[in-house]
Structure 1
Amino acid sequence: MNASHLASLASPLWAETLRTDLLPWLRTCADLGDDVLEIGPGPGLTTDLLLEIGTRKVTAVEVDADLAEKLRARLRGTRAEVLRGDATDLDLAPDRFSAAVCFSMLHHMESPEAQDRLFARLHHALRPGAALLGTDPLDTERMRQGHTDDTFVPVDPATLARRLAAAGFTDSTVTKTNEHQFRFCTRKPLGA
């Protein structure tokens, strides 16, 4: 992630945007349950929201070693555990988590195939009936400019439900929230 992008994601302005835009949606779209897996927390502003809404335990997986260590130090003594690693190949216990979330991080993965591997790993790690929720930016010129010298592999919202179904998820909804972002919610089937 380039320095400008990281500074933006750690800013008070972004924290307020998350509080007014993301938090109400989180409270209404699905029951997150007691043990949430968060992929790609970056500086951890979304982790803070998950803890605020009363999630009993949050396991945050961050691929960047420096970000993971800083977040681990900042959240020491809370209900959050920070793991450093690539979620596509971490040893995550099957059927453990009550929900999984990935906020504005899928486009930072190196390829659509890596994104699909992540969906499969999350399906494996979620309890039957558990929700996977996320947000990601749309492929716009503004977003491309904001990712100069950075990985930017945008997810096509028109194909996301099909890709999630291929990983075993069901009841997928994908909604464009504004001209820059979309949200999605899907579930691991009860019988899976």
Structure 2
Amino acid sequence: MNENHARLCPSPEWAEFLHTEVLPDLVARVDLGEHMLEVGPGPGASTDWLRHRVERLTAVETDDRAAADLTLKYAGTNVTVVNGDATDLTFADSVFDSAGSFTMLHHVPTVSLQDTLLSEVLRVLRPGGVLVGSDSLPSDALREFHEGDTYNPIEPDKLNERLQSLGYDNIMIRVANTLTFVAHKPSN
């Protein structure tokens, strides 16, 4: 994580943006069910909002320090933090009702690894389960913001095809100030 992210991601302004501009619209479209998987929560700006909307939230974070901080922050709550790699999830098949990835996929270094992550999420979703997500739109300013950090933006016009090829259906993609998407694991 570069210094720009170290300042932005834990800030109240970033949490407010997620809580008011991104998350409400996404979850209004779907039933999150009882048990949700959050992939790449970082400092937990979305975690705090999501945990009040599901019975159980499992957050998978690859960064050791961030995972340790989240574990302390959410001890005794309905949040379980796993320090792990979302491209190789340790969960059994079909255990989560929903999954979410919020403004983090562009930190996955290759399209192939992004697809592996999305495939793993599909594997651990129950039949009929839903993936909700968001990411920043590609721009020169965002590329500069990521100087010294991984930046592999999602191409909005290719996301539907990518999700379909991985096995998702009932896909909705919206491009506005950010990219948001909803995709389902087939029911059968």
> TM-score, normalised on structure 1?
0.95
Residue matched to 1:184: 181
Residue 183 of structure 2 aligns to a residue in which SS?
strand
Partner of 2:88: 89
Larger displacement relative to structure 2 (21-30 or 82-91): 21-30
Partner of 1:157: 156
For structure 1, list consecutive stretches of 5 or more residues without a partner in the other structure. none
Matched with 1:8 is: 8
| Equivalent position of 2:139 in the other structure | 140
Residue 123 of structure 1, CA deviation: 0.9
Task: Write the distance in 2 (CA, Å) between the matches of 1:113 and 1:164.
Answer: 12
Q: In the comparison of the two structures, how many residue pairs are matched?
A: 188
Q: Which one-letter code corresponds to 2:10 in the other structure?
A: A
Partners of 1:90 and 1:55 in 2: how far apart? 21
Partner of 2:50: 50
Work out whether 1:172 is the aligned partner of 2:171.
Answer: yes
- The Cα shift of 1:23 comes to 3.2
Under a length normalisation based on structure 2, what TM-score does the superposition of the two structures give? 0.97
Secondary structure, counterpart of 1:142 in structure 2: helix
Verify the 8 A CA contact 2:36 2:100 in the aligned structure 1. Answer: yes
* Cα-to-partner distance string for 1:47-101 (whole Å, 9 max, x where unaligned): 001012x310000000000110001111101100000011111222101000000
Give the whole-Å Cα distance in 1 for the aligned partners of 2:45 and 2:2. 18
SS of alignment partner, residue 72 of structure 1: helix
1:8-27 equivalences in 2 (<5 Å) = 8-27=8-27
Please tell me the residue identity of whatever aligns with 2:22: L
Distance 2:156 2:5 in 1: 22
Aligned-residue offset at 1:159: 0.6
- Is 1:73 the counterpart of 2:72 in the alignment? yes
Q: Which amino acid aligns with 1:105?
A: M
Say whether residues 1:111 and 2:110 are aligned partners.
yes
Runs of 4+ in structure 1 deviating by more than 2 angstroms, as ranges, are none
Q: Distance in 1 between matches of 2:24 and 2:126?
A: 24
SS at match of 2:171: strand
Cα shift at 1:6:
2.5
1:3-30 deviation digits (Å, cap 9, x = unpaired): 2212201101111111211232134111
CA distance in 1, matches of 2:185, 2:6: 32
Separation in 1, partners of 2:116, 2:15: 29
Gaps of 5+ in 2: none
> Residue 60 and residue 6 in structure 1: after superposition, are their counterparts in 2 closer, same or farther (change >3 A)?
same
